[in-house]
């Protein structure tokens, strides 16, 4: 696939105006049209469509943007590596649940961007299903999950740490006065769960099913902040990583129910076994390990520390 055509396509996908693309790239407008047409013929589908006077991406064009970014990033990284340039360039595509993105990634990025200021990061929310394919085809370089394991032979999952889970309620909730609370106490209670915060939510729902407990409703939210607001308003119960509710617990806007068993989840860093790990990606992974501040080879000590209340630094 011709990289020049990809560069032209990527610029056109941003500007959505072929005349402006010609000005930016210093080409004749006919050259831009010819390159786009040539790429469309190569892939066999239209990448742009015209709606009146407006140019828009087709569904295929939107997908092509992802691959164009990766291919162009690989070119930039290869040139930087081969020529020995000091500053690497390119894109790292990451998938991370909200808990990791909110409470850990800022520390990682502060260190990473200091060393690699020209690397562009593309961070999106985690998706348990489809992750193997995304890592296989290269649209995602590295992923994080809050789950005990990943059932995929082609994926390598590294344990970073253990996160304690807490079952949350508003202070006035009757369950907050009980010395012991379990799954049976959630019968006919509204339950607020994160839609895309990965495996621990699935494990909690499976436990409800095993205990034959039927919540009044399970309400899914993309936002952990929205979930906490709903629980604080007295609308129901939730289960979240403790780190996501530290401030609300400290200010007593939420309370931790006296759950009758320990709840926790592993934090996994996942990559494809057969994919080459670039120096940039390797550096990013090393920074993640330092920030998470856990030894991935010592599961037992990590889990014990989490249960004793030793949070990540």
Q: For the chain, what is the domain count?
A: 3
Angle 189-194-200 (CA atoms, 0-180°, nearest 5)? 90
Instruction: Give dist(CA 179, CA 94) in Å, integer.
Output: 41
At 274, is the pLDDT very low, low, confident or very high (cuts 50, 70, 90)? confident
In a domain, 312, yes or no: no
Residues 243, 300, single domain; the answer is no
pTM of the model: 0.69
What is the pLDDT, as a whole number, of residue 198? 64
| Over residues 3-15, mean pLDDT | 86
Supply the range of the domain harboring residue 42. 3-78
Residues 20, 141, single domain; the answer is no
Helices (runs of H) and strands (runs of E) counted in the chain: 12, 11
In a domain, 57, yes or no: yes
Residues 99, 54, single domain; the answer is no
CATH of residue 91: 3.40.190.10
**16 token code pair:** 């959505």
Residues 281, 259, single domain; the answer is no
Residues 108, 151, single domain; the answer is yes
Share of the chain above pLDDT 90, in %: 42
Residues 52, 7, single domain; the answer is yes
Instruction: Give dist(CA 168, CA 166) in Å, integer.
Output: 6
Residues 28, 99, single domain; the answer is no
Residues 176, 235, single domain; the answer is yes
What is the pLDDT, as a whole number, of residue 312? 34
What is the pLDDT, as a whole number, of residue 89? 65
Nearest alpha carbon to residue 141 among 280, 292, 13: 280
């Amino acid at each position: 696939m011709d990289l020049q055509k990809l560069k032209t396509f990527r610029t056109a996908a941003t500007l959505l105006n072929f005349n402006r693309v010609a000005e930016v790239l210093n080409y004749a407008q006919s050259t831009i049209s010819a390159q786009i047409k040539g790429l469309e013929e190569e892939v066999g589908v239209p990448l742009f469509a015209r709606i009146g006077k407006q140019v828009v991406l087709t569904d295929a064009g939107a997908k092509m943007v992802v691959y164009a970014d990766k291919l162009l990033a690989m070119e930039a990284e290869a040139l930087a590596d081969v020529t020995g340039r000091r500053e690497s360039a390119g894109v790292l595509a990451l998938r991370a649940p909200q808990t990791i993105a909110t409470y850990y990634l800022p520390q990682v990025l502060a260190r990473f961007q200091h060393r690699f200021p020209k690397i562009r990061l593309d961070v999106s929310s985690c998706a348990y299903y489809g992750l193997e394919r995304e890592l296989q085809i290269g649209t995602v370089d590295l992923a994080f999950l809050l789950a005990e394991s990943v059932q995929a032979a082609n994926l390598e999952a590294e344990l970073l740490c253990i996160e304690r889970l807490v079952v949350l309620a508003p202070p006035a909730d009757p369950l907050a006065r009980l010395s012991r609370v379990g799954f049976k106490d959630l019968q006919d209670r509204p339950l607020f769960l994160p839609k895309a915060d990965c495996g621990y939510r699935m494990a909690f729902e499976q436990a409800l099913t095993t205990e034959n407990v039927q919540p009044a409703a399970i309400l899914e939210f993309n936002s952990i902040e929205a979930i906490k607001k709903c629980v604080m308003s007295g609308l129901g119960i939730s289960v979240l990583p403790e780190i996501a509710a530290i401030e609300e617990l400290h200010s007593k806007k939420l309370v931790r129910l006296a759950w009758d068993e320990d709840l926790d989840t592993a934090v996994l860093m996942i990559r494809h076994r057969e994919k080459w790990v670039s120096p940039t990606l390797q550096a990013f992974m090393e920074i993640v390990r330092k920030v998470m501040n856990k030894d991935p080879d010592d599961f037992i000590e990590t889990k014990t520390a989490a249960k004793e209340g030793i949070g990540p630094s």
